[in-house]
A = this chain, B = another copy of it.
Amino acid sequence: METNPCNKPINGGSSIPSRASRKTRQEDTIVNITGVEVGGSEIIIIAGPCAVESREQLFETARSVKAGGASILRGGAFKPRSSPYNFQGLGEEGLKLLSIIRKETGLPVVTEVMDTRQVELVASYADMIQIGSRNMQNYPLLKEAGMCHKPVLLKRGMMATIEEFLLAAEYILNQGNEQVVLCERGIRTFETSTRNTLDLSAVPMLKRLSHLPVIVDPSHGTGLRWMVPSMSKAAIAVGADGLIMEVHYKPEEAICDGYQSLSLDEFDLLMADLTKIAKAIGREISVPKVWPG
């Protein structure tokens, strides 16, 4: 996976079985997120705001995406931002808001963790912890996630090869946590008309090489709200086990990523279209579970 041939694995290397590989486990892994199964025949939709900004913003968005058919709620409390002067997230206050609306709606919650010291805290609030693109090769964080007992959503690094992506997952699996969902979210290329280039070929490639579920993030993958619907349909047609989408009750007022967030109405419309595509390939969109899960 590295071009440098001297990266000899310790103890002979290739003889060590890769836990993420199809060769090690042929049947699909199904990850259970507090009752919502990812990787089976149903396609799951994760939706919610980029960042938790306020009680009203989170709660209105959460209630609406649940009504629209989302099975899991997303929302960032700790935000990795290119500039230190950008909004860094509400922190534990954001986690608490997620936990309140989680109880009300019954939607399991996924939220990002950036620091080894916060894995325990985040895991105590979330149903699934997310390791973001910029931290895909943050090995201490991967190990810490591997030691916690929550499912992990691992996003592909924006310049990571498929092999590096699977090796990052291997760090988590190798600690005993087998509940890993892979997420293609766009890679960095020379093209600038989109925020990233969403690499949909990663979906069939990952599913061929690994038994882990694979979902797609069309919001970060394109950076363009109007393009999210068409790329979402393509992601399901190509075989993704789910989507994670940014939805905001007032996209034009969003503190971050408003340009790529769907409005509540746009989300509802899209769900209807996705249902048709899922059916055309012999799958179904998962419906929100009745609480308690």
Contact = CB atoms under 8 A, between A and B. Distances in A.
Contacts of A277: 237, 277, 280-281
A291 interface: no
Nearest to A135: B138
Please tell me the size bucket of the interface on A: 35 or more
A227 B205 contact: yes
Interface of A: 1-11, 13, 16, 80-87, 114-117, 134-135, 137-140, 143, 157-159, 161-164, 167, 170-171, 174, 187-195, 197-201, 203-205, 208, 221-223, 226-227, 230-231, 233-239, 254-260, 273, 276-277, 279-281
A120 to B, nearest CB: 12
A13 B139 contact: no
A9 B2 CA distance: 28
B116 A117 contact: yes
Nearest to A144: B115
B230 A203 contact: yes
Nearest to A168: B82
7 contacts: A7-B81, A162-B191, A198-B200, A201-B222, A208-B226, A237-B277, A277-B280
A110 to B, nearest CB: 20
A239 B230 contact: yes
A92 to B, nearest CB: 14
A80 B192 contact: no
B10 A167 contact: no
B192 A86 contact: no
Contacts of A171: 84
